[in-house]
Chains A and B, each alone.
Chain A
Amino acid sequence: MTEAIAAEQLGKVYANGVEAVRAVDLSVAHGEIFGFLGPNGAGKTTLISMLTTLLRPTHGSARVEGVDVVERPEQVRRRIGLVFQRSTADEVLTGRENLEIAAGLNGLSPAESRPRIREVLERLDLTEAADRRVSTYSGGMRRRLEIGAGIVHDPGVLFLDEPTLGLDPQGRAGFWEYVRELRARHGMTIFLTTHYLDEADQLSDRVAIIDHGLVLKTGAPASLKEALGSDVVQVRPSDPNSGLRSVLERIPGVRAVEPAPVDAAIRVRVARAEAFVPAVVRACDAAGIELAAVETRKPSLDEVFLSVTGREYREETEGNPTNGPGSRARRAGGR
Chain B
Amino acid sequence: MYREFVTVLRREYLKWARVPIWVASSFVIPVLYLVLFGQAFDLDRLFPAGADGSDYVRAALLGAPNYFSYFAVGMVAFVTLTASLYSGTGILFDKQLGIHQRTVATPAPRSALFAGTLAFRAWSACWPAFLAFGVALAFADVPGLIGLSVRPSVSALGIAEVLVAEGLLALMFTALFLSFGYVLDSNEAYFGITSLLNLPILFTSNAMFPQATMPPWLQTVTAYNPASLAVNVMRQNLFATEGYPYPPTLYLLGLLAWAVALIALALYLSARSLRVR
**Chain A residues engaging chain B, CB cutoff 8 angstroms:** 52-56, 73-74, 77-78, 80, 82, 84, 86, 88, 90, 92-93, 97, 100-102, 104-109, 133, 149
Given A73-B276, A93-B14, A93-B18, answer yes or no on A82-B99 (Cβ-Cβ < 8 Å). no
Residues of B near A52 (CB, < 8 A) are 105
CA distance A90 to B11 in the complex (A): 9
Output the nearest chain A residue to B106 by Cβ-Cβ distance: A105
Output the nearest chain A residue to B14 by Cβ-Cβ distance: A93
Residues of B near A54 (CB, < 8 A) are 101, 104-105, 276
B107 and A101 form a contact (CB under 8 A): no
Residues of B near A90 (CB, < 8 A) are 11, 14-15, 99
Number of A-B contacts (CB under 8 A): 71
CA distance A66 to B137 in the complex (A): 64
- Would you mind naming 9 contact pairs between A and B with Cβ atoms under 8 Å apart? A82-B102, A84-B101, A88-B101, A93-B15, A93-B18, A104-B6, A105-B7, A105-B8, A107-B4
Q: Which of B4, B8, B107, B277 has the most CB of A within 10 A?
A: B107
* Chain B interface SS verdict (over half): helix
Residues of A near B140 (CB, < 8 A) are none
A80 and B105 form a contact (CB under 8 A): yes
B277 and A149 form a contact (CB under 8 A): no
The 8 Å CB contact of A53, one of B3, B15, B18, B276, is B276
What is the minimal beta-carbon distance from A43 to any residue of chain B, in angstroms? 16
A106 and B11 form a contact (CB under 8 A): no
Does residue B97 face the partner (Cβ distance < 8 Å to A)?
yes
Residues of A near B103 (CB, < 8 A) are 105
Does residue B108 face the partner (Cβ distance < 8 Å to A)?
yes
CA distance A203 to B173 in the complex (A): 51
B11 and A77 form a contact (CB under 8 A): no
Given A105-B108, A107-B3, answer yes or no on A88-B276 (Cβ-Cβ < 8 Å). no
Does residue B19 face the partner (Cβ distance < 8 Å to A)?
yes
Given A52-B105, A54-B105, answer yes or no on A88-B98 (Cβ-Cβ < 8 Å). yes
B19 and A101 form a contact (CB under 8 A): no
Residues of B near A74 (CB, < 8 A) are 107
B276 and A106 form a contact (CB under 8 A): no
